[in-house]
Structure 1
Amino acid sequence: MTTDSRTNSSKSGGSGWAADRMADQRGRTFVVTGATSGLGLVTARELASHGGRVLLAVRDAARGEGVASSLRHAYPGAEVEVRRVDLLDLDSIRRAAEEIAREESVDVLVNNAGISMVEHAVTAQGAERHFAANHLGHFALTALLEPALRRSPAPRVVTVTSYMHEKGELDLDDVAWSRKYTPIAAYSASKLANAVFGVELARREESASSPITSVLAHPGYSNTPMQSKGTGLIGIAMRVSGMLFAQSQEMGALPQLFAATEPGLVGGSYIGPDGRGGRSGHPQPGQLSAAAQDPELGRRLWERSQQLTGIRWQSTDV
């Protein structure tokens, strides 16, 4: 897989693609993490409205049931179900994956959920929370769902990253961030981990002659509930900036919807908004940072992630 192939995509990208151009998704099963608000909720809604069977993989099951009920009401006949998963809890991830794996197949996994701008804390595995929730949880869930994905005729994994990955730095020897910690640096590092994972998964699936296609997406600068998560002056600035300058979450969800449903995408494709700086607009292929495409960093992140989660990907070890 070359850098050029990572940016290849359907010609419809960058030409005003919107959700109403999505093909009928009947007969396909989607798993969407973080589907109770923001980009995940928009993604689940659009997939359900186009006939897809959608499993809401969410931490708060009661809230998830409320979302599922509202989607069934809005779209009579929609198949929407809830699967509880806490991406900071490996036992929860294992239970959810076992439940989901009983499905005949999973056609698309959208690794959308994320946290941002939280205070420093470390999980039982010794990882800082941004890295643990945004990357390690999805790494584990994807690995455990791989058999269900392989039962699909055209399986796909969508990893949602951010343009902030370009500013991220990964110190795999200090995943606990035991030295200087800032929320924005930790968030950016976790988004770089998402990007590196998506590319490394594409490389390994290709090397293993797997049917799974790994693609990446980023929402640009979108006004989602994440904008209200910061504290202090940073939190105020984020909320004001989100209201004044960010695009809607409906627009922000388009790249991951495109990545999840558009035929013909190749492994490693990176989809984001087509506006200036990739901050807003309609989906089009983008360019990942050099760090995201670094095969040695990909190998090291993969091994470190397996060590921290205790989960190995036998079928994609190369």
Structure 2
Amino acid sequence: MSSVPSAPPWDVRRLPRAEGRTVLVTGGNAGIGYFIAEQLATTGAAVVLGSRDPAKAAAALAVLRARVPGARVRALRLDLADLASLRTAAASLGPRLDAVVHNAGVALDHPPRRETADGHELMFGTNHLGHFALTRWLLPLLAAAPAGRVVTMGSFAAKTERLDLADLQSRHDYRPKRSYGRSKLAQMHAGLELDRRLRAAGSTVASVVVHPGGALDSRTPARPPVHVRTAGGWLRGLPAAVVLQGKDAGAWPAVRAVLDPAVAGGQLWGPRVLGLRGAPRREPVWHHLADAAVADRLWAASRELTGVDPGTVLG
């Protein structure tokens, strides 16, 4: 009798090679985005760091090249709060893109409510609407790859939130932390809805949603000047380290979603231990995220607010 050998267990520190593939990481100059870029660079993939700040992008590239000799990395000027600029930014990527990680985000802790240049609440406008519009311009490039992937970085903060479809922009009741959680929830809804539409269109592109669990600066390896860790910060973070992790580990679910052929569209991936820390694993789609009716209404609202529709280029 013959048997088909099973794939080896996924090892976050021994990633498969990915030469010839190109991946865009939005917000790749800092935080989890930087570590996604660093880990992907070790595979031989060409990594593009999307960043709205050229100086920070240059600093991240310097650190990354020092950490990964021979890394194939470059920066792309990308401002998700400026919807009109996204088409030009996407066009500069070339004819093909193997994957995009929608990671960039804004998190505000205190009032007042702020808006983008387009008049959208800053967190919803950047985290959700910016990525929604960018997807419209990236899909033709992703469809040109053998198995393009859209990986959306959600947040554990979205697990306890629900969208207010009548007040997506938090105009009537603005609470920064809640608005942040809802902006990430909107991203996750859109990522799953995108995959439903991709499947219906028979597309080769897949859309996967991930989240990093609890990722703390104090548990993150130093990468100065991108990330500077102090002894005091490390000590203050010790109690939380029992259940949380660093941003390097928070990158693992997104990296697996880009690289692992066993990861399929429409899935949700996060850390193994309580959804907060550990190696990446597939987890059940949260009950409220599975509401396709809410996702469809959000999609329609996003199309109206951005003036673009990723659905027009599916196939």
Q: Shorter-normalised TM-score: what interval?
A: 0.7 to 0.9
Q: CA deviation at 1:176?
A: 2.4
Tell me which residue corresponds to 1:293: 290
Matched, 1:165 2:158: yes
Q: Report 1 or 2 for greater relative contact order, CA contacts < 8 Å, sequence distance ≥ 6.
A: 1
- What does residue range 127-276 of structure 1 map to in structure 2 within 5 Å? 127-224=120-217, 244-245=239-240, 246-275=244-273
Percent identity over the alignment is 37
Tell me which residue corresponds to 1:116: 107
Distance in 2 of aligned mates of 1:159 and 1:151? 20
* Among 67, 81, 89, the residue aligned to 1:88: 81
- What does residue range 94-109 of structure 1 map to in structure 2 within 5 Å? 94-100=87-93, 103-109=94-100
Quick check: 1:94–1:144 contact (8 Å CA) kept in 2?
A: yes
Tell me which residue corresponds to 2:53: 60
Distance of aligned partners of 1:69 and 1:60 in 2 relative to their CA distance in 1, 3 Å threshold: same
Q: CA deviation at 1:163?
A: 1.8
Query: Is there any run of 5+ residues in structure 2 with no aligned partner, and where?
Result: 1-5, 221-232
Moved runs in structure 1, 4+ residues, more than 3 A? 238-244
Tell me which residue corresponds to 1:4: none
Tell me which residue corresponds to 1:284: 281
Map Cα deviations across residues 88-133 of structure 1 (whole Å, 9 max, x no partner): 1112222211212xx1310010001111134311234442111111
Quick check: 2:195–2:266 contact (8 Å CA) kept in 1?
A: yes
Distance in 1 of aligned mates of 2:186 and 2:7? 28
Q: CA deviation at 1:297?
A: 1.0
Distance in 2 of aligned mates of 1:243 and 1:257? 26
SS in 2 for 1:94: helix
Residue identity opposite 1:114 in structure 2? G
Quick check: 1:55–1:81 contact (8 Å CA) kept in 2?
A: yes
Distance of aligned partners of 1:11 and 1:204 in 2 relative to their CA distance in 1, 3 Å threshold: farther
Quick check: 1:170–1:189 contact (8 Å CA) kept in 2?
A: yes
Q: CA deviation at 1:194?
A: 1.3
Map Cα deviations across residues 139-183 of structure 1 (whole Å, 9 max, x no partner): 111111111111101100100001221212212332221222111
SS in 2 for 1:281: strand
Q: CA deviation at 1:63?
A: 1.6
Quick check: 2:81–2:117 contact (8 Å CA) kept in 1?
A: no
Distance in 2 of aligned mates of 1:298 and 1:257? 25
Residue identity opposite 2:153 in structure 1? V
* Among 7, 28, 41, the residue aligned to 1:35: 28
Q: CA deviation at 1:312?
A: 1.9
What's the TM-score, normalizing by structure 1? 0.85
Count of residue pairs the alignment pairs up = 291
SS in 1 for 2:269: strand
CA RMSD after TM alignment: 2.3
